Structures are given as C-alpha cells and as structure tokens.
Amino acid sequence: MDAVIGGLGVALPPSATQDDLWDGFFDHHYAGTRNALARRIFTNSGVRTRQAVVSPLLEDVSGWSTERRMRRYQAEAMPLGKAAVGRALDDAGVAAGDLGLFAVCSCTGYATPGLDILLARDMGMSPSVQRLFVGHMGCYAALPGLGAVSDFVTARGRPALLLCAELTSLHVQPAGSRTDIHQIVSHALFSDAAAAVVVTPRDRSPAGYAVREVAAITDTSTADHMTWDVTDLGFRMGLSPQVPAVLAKHVRGLVDEVLGRHGVTIADVDGWAVHPGGPKILDVVQERLGLDGAALAESRGVLAAHGNCSSPTVLLVLDELRRRPAPPKRIVMLAFGPGLTLYVTLLEGSTLGA
C-alpha cells in the first residue's frame, strides 16, 4: 500500500527584514569588538526576511529563564500549530477525526501535556488517535517523522498527520555570549514556522506524492559539530564551521544509494527539497550532486524569505516545489542536523493539489 502525501499546510508568525532586525536589535546586542564580524555574518546569511512569534524588535528575551521561555512556547506554539494542521487537513480533504496517528516534531520547547495532546483535543481528533512526539532531533526531524507516519499508513491503512513546529526566536542568547561566533551565526539564520503534512493510503489521495523511501546516515565522529544544549537561559546552539565539509563527504553516496535502489539516478530527479541550513550548505550539496543553479532555487528562496526554521524548513521547500507551474514528478528531500546526521527521502507520483 502506498503512503501518499495528500495535503500540506504552513503557518508563519509576523515577519521582519534582516536589515531591520540588525539595525533595531542585533547591532546593539553585538556592540564591541565583534560588531563588524556580526554585521558581515548577517549580511552574508542569504536571509532577507524572517518570522518570529517573539520579535526582538518588540521584546528582548535574551535574559529570560528557560522556565519563562517554555511557558511562552506553549502559548505561542498552539495557535501556530493549529493553523498549520487545519490547513493540511483541508488541503487533503481529511477530517481530523479520521486520523489514526498524530506526530509532532519540535526541539525548541517542551511541556506536558504537550502539543500532541492539546492540539488533538482542540482539532477534534479521536480520543483513540495514537500520538508520537519527536524532540531534540533538530533540523532533520521532519524526515524521520515523515517516515514514521508513512509506516503507520502502510501498516494500518489509516491517515496520519505530521506537524513540525519550531519557535527559535525564544532562544536568543544574552549579550554575554556576543563573542561566541556560533551564536552570531545562529541569530543570523534561525526563524519560526509550523508546517504539517497529511499522509494517507493511495485511494484517499490519488494525486499525492508517494513516500518511496526514507534513509539516513550518521557520522558520530563529528557529534560535537552541532549541538543544542538546554541552559538556564534557554537553548544554546553549537555550530562548527566544519559542518559543510562533513556533508560534502557523505551526501553524494547516500543519495546515489537511495536512488539506485529504485532504479533511477540524479538525472531522473526533477525536484530537490534541500534543507537550507545556510548558503554554504546549499553550495556544497549543489556541487557534490552536480546540480545546476536552478535545481535549488526553491531551497534558496525559502532561506531568503524565511531563514532556517529548523524542522519545518524542508517542508516549506516541498510546498514551494508543488506550486511550480509544472510541479516535479520525482522529489528528493534532504535534511541535516545533530549527529551529524543526513536524512534523504524519495517522493514519487502525481502532484499535490495546490
């Protein structure tokens, strides 16, 4: 039985330009000897606009305790998640009560009862709906999440829904960390978003994308290259400049291996949804896979318009791909995160209804 992506919904909080964020907050936040470096990082980030539930132009959360940030997370994530879930269900033509599994991915906030319980209640899901919460996997979480809901659909023959919701704006670090280049890069790139996908059996979504395979590789020798630590002042990013080099080492082999199992090659792929972790990551993927400049246009466009939203980001790229005048027939999704871990997903079939 094919598990098919039959609907997709996106919800975004208010937007601000990168220039306004720099001039109105981060220029002062990074006052001192690192100001010129921080300005260059912001300018060269590839980001033009970003979204935030808590804009630093209106509220400085950098001194907030983790407890205060988590309370705000629950308050802000609920309406954002509800909007994304509702749009995905409408897009798929599936009623909330028909879902057999509701999975949530988020690494930017925790509470119990969490989004999986409260959104299931508020959206009218059945009391018997099964739930899965995936936390702290980071930017690649959408793809193992998609694998889990697809496996459920294949095994049970019932629709499932995946929600990825991240509020990175709650984790601006205090000015005392201004000499830490990891935080400068993080503050220049990350953004907030929620994205949801409904996965159904083929007979419920004949025009959707079939999830053919989800595969991964983790290089544990580089486990310290990307970290996301819980501190007393929110969650703190650690990000090595060696991440693109690690991706360069592994990405071609993993993609070729997955495509080879399905009798196709890179030349047969007409859609690329690559997690835009930053401009250098996209450059490395494009070079190692031998892609032309147009292949990653949607990934670069999402980076420019939305920044790096962690787990929802690759779904934002998928949403852009399906809205092409001639949507792709075969899509490879790629996402990267702590581990270092690379995930690849192959989608095939007819296009989603936009």
Predicted local distance difference test score (pLDDT) of residue 354: 38
What's the whole-model pTM score? 0.96
Integer Cα distance of 134 and 298 in angstroms: 26
pLDDT at 31: 87
170-225 per-position pLDDT tens digit = 999 997 654 588 899 999 999 999 999 999 999 888 889 999 999 999 999 999 99
> Do 3-204 and 209-349 have matching folds?
yes
Fold of domain 3-204: Peroxisomal Thiolase; Chain A, domain 1 (3.40.47)
| Contact by Cβ (8 Å): 238, 184 | no
3-state SS, residue 3: strand
- Enumerate residue ranges in the chain where pLDDT < 50: 178, 351-354
Q: What is the pLDDT of residue 177?
A: 52
Contact 277, 241 (CB under 8 A): no
Domain with residues 209-349, CATH architecture: 3-Layer(aba) Sandwich (3.40)
- pLDDT per position as a tens digit, 77-111: 999 999 999 999 999 999 999 999 999 999 999 99
HSE-CB at 304 with a 13 A cutoff on CA atoms is 7
The domain locations on the chain are 3-204, 209-349
pLDDT of residue 34: 84
